[in-house]
């Protein structure tokens, strides 16, 4: 895939060296098929250039202007080129408390809401169940020029559906190939996919569930189902392993985000997005009018 620059960037976006990871996160966090998920430490902080929690907000602030401007260019490009423009889709998957909601709030809160398309996928409604599992997903894809965020996704159809055996085994088996074809199609149409597995440890999940139950302001986040899902931890690890092994493609990569430390998790997803946008490098659209002539017209008006 080539992304030619149609015009030189008027003001190159730079991020201070000290805010950048020594190794691009797209390499440092990249899953490789066959690699056991148990090898990934949920409390690790790969590539983090600072001291820790104490400077995470500051380092995030340093990349915010670049994120903001890339997003605006992407959006402008979408207005200009319509279906020929690119989009970005961030898929967030992880067990309860892993931080899907936290990322939506803290990472996507950095962006201009008009350039975002957020969707969350719950237990399918009867209507959704009457369609193919990708039907509801297609309806929520980001239009060209937008950054889409999926809080859960089509992967639920190989995760909870596998663990709870919600469909016959042969149908489940087909889901993986259907997902791969679907994602390849998306990429062909110009969508950049960033698939994040938020890797939280069982100990940290327990702390977070307890925190939800001991703070009335967090009761709404708790579901009595969470403890039932937690009891199936090994089955979910296996389901994630198979999903990542079978549905990792060069153009639709999986990243494993260590998620025991919220500050690292949020910074890492923001940085992954920055790297992707940097690579995509959308340009400001050229005007479809004569700038000098319009200047003269406005001045004399």
Establish if 156 lies at the interface with ligand AMP (CB under 6 A): yes
Per CB under 6 A, which region of 110-118, 151-159, 265-273, 286-294 contacts ligand AMP?
151-159
Of positions 160, 187, 213, 235, contacts ligand AMP by CB under 6 A: 160
Query: How, if at all, do strands 116-120 and 147-151 pair?
Result: parallel
Site for ligand AMP in 224-253 (CB under 6 A): 225
Give whichever of 96 and 183 is closer to Mg ion, judged by the CB atom.
96
Establish if 151 lies at the interface with Mg ion (CB under 5 A): no
**Count residues contacting ligand AMP (CB under 6 A)?**
11
* Contact indicator for 40, 246 with CB cutoff of 8 Å: no
Cα-based distances in Å from 189 to 142, 144, 152, 182: 12, 9, 22, 11
Give whichever of 44 and 160 is closer to ligand AMP, judged by the CB atom.
160
Alpha helices in 120-252 (DSSP H): 126-129, 135-138, 160-163, 169-188, 202-214, 226-230, 233-246
Establish if 121 lies at the interface with ligand AMP (CB under 6 A): yes
Establish if 161 lies at the interface with ligand AMP (CB under 6 A): yes
Phi, psi of 186 (to 5 degrees): -60, -45
Cα-based distances in Å from 223 to 96, 100, 122, 227: 9, 15, 13, 8
Give whichever of 161 and 247 is closer to ligand AMP, judged by the CB atom.
161
Residue 161: which of Mg ion, ligand AMP, none does it interact with, CB under 5 to 8 A by kind?
ligand AMP
Give whichever of 152 and 262 is closer to ligand AMP, judged by the CB atom.
152
Give whichever of 57 and 227 is closer to Mg ion, judged by the CB atom.
227
Phi-psi region of 16 (alpha: psi -120 to 50; beta: other; left: phi over 0): beta
CA nearest 267: which of 91, 14, 46?
46
Of positions 30, 35, 152, 232, contacts ligand AMP by CB under 6 A: 152
Per CB under 5 A, which region of 8-16, 72-80, 89-97, 170-178 contacts Mg ion?
89-97
Q: How far apart are CA 145 and CA 71, in angstroms?
A: 8
Residue 160: which of ligand AMP, Mg ion, none does it interact with, CB under 5 to 8 A by kind?
ligand AMP
Residue 77: which of Mg ion, ligand AMP, none does it interact with, CB under 5 to 8 A by kind?
none
Q: How far apart are CA 23 and CA 47, in angstroms?
A: 6
Establish if 55 lies at the interface with Mg ion (CB under 5 A): no
Contacts for 291 with CB less than 8 Å, ≥ 6 apart: none
Cα-based distances in Å from 188 to 92, 118, 119, 135, 192: 21, 22, 22, 19, 9
Residue 157: which of ligand AMP, Mg ion, none does it interact with, CB under 5 to 8 A by kind?
ligand AMP
**Strands across the sheet containing 147-151:** 116-120, 147-151, 87-94, 191-199, 254-258
Diameter of the chain by CA atoms?
73
Of positions 96, 151, 157, 204, contacts Mg ion by CB under 5 A: 96
Interaction pattern, residues 71-110, with ligand AMP; x per rule: CB under 6 A = -------------------------x--------------
What does the binding site for Mg ion look like in residue numbers (CB under 5 A)? 96
What does the binding site for ligand AMP look like in residue numbers (CB under 6 A)? 96, 121-124, 152, 156-157, 160-161, 225
């Amino acid at each position: 895939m080539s992304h030619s620059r149609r015009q030189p960037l008027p003001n190159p976006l730079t991020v201070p060296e000290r805010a950048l990871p020594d190794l691009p996160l797209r390499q440092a966090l990249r899953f490789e098929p066959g690699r056991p998920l148990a090898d990934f430490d949920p409390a690790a902080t790969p590539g983090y250039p600072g001291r820790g929690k104490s400077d995470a907000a500051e380092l995030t602030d340093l990349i915010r202007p670049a994120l903001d401007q890339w997003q605006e260019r992407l959006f402008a490009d979408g207005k200009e080129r319509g279906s020929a423009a690119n989009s970005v889709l961030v898929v967030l998957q992880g067990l309860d408390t892993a931080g899907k909601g936290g990322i939506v709030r803290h990472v996507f809160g950095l962006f201009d809401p008009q350039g975002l398309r957020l969707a969350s996928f719950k237990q399918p409604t009867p209507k959704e169940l009457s369609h193919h599992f990708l039907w509801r997903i297609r309806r929520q894809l980001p239009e060209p020029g937008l950054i889409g965020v999926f809080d859960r996704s089509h992967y639920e159809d190989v995760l909870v559906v596998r663990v709870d055996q919600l469909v016959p085994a042969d149908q489940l088996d087909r889901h993986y190939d259907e997902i791969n074809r679907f994602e390849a199609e998306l990429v062909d149409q110009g969508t950049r996919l960033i698939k994040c597995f938020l890797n939280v440890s069982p100990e940290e999940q327990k702390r977070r569930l307890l925190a939800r139950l001991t703070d009335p302001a967090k009761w709404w986040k708790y579901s009595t189902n969470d403890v039932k899902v937690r009891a199936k931890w090994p089955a979910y690890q296996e389901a994630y392993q198979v999903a990542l092994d079978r549905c990792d493609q060069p153009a639709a990569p999986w990243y494993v985000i260590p998620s025991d430390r919220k500050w690292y998790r949020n910074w890492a997803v923001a940085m992954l997005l920055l790297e992707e946008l940097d690579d995509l490098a959308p340009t400001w659209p050229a005007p479809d009018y004569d700038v000098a002539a319009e200047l003269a017209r406005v001045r004399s008006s």
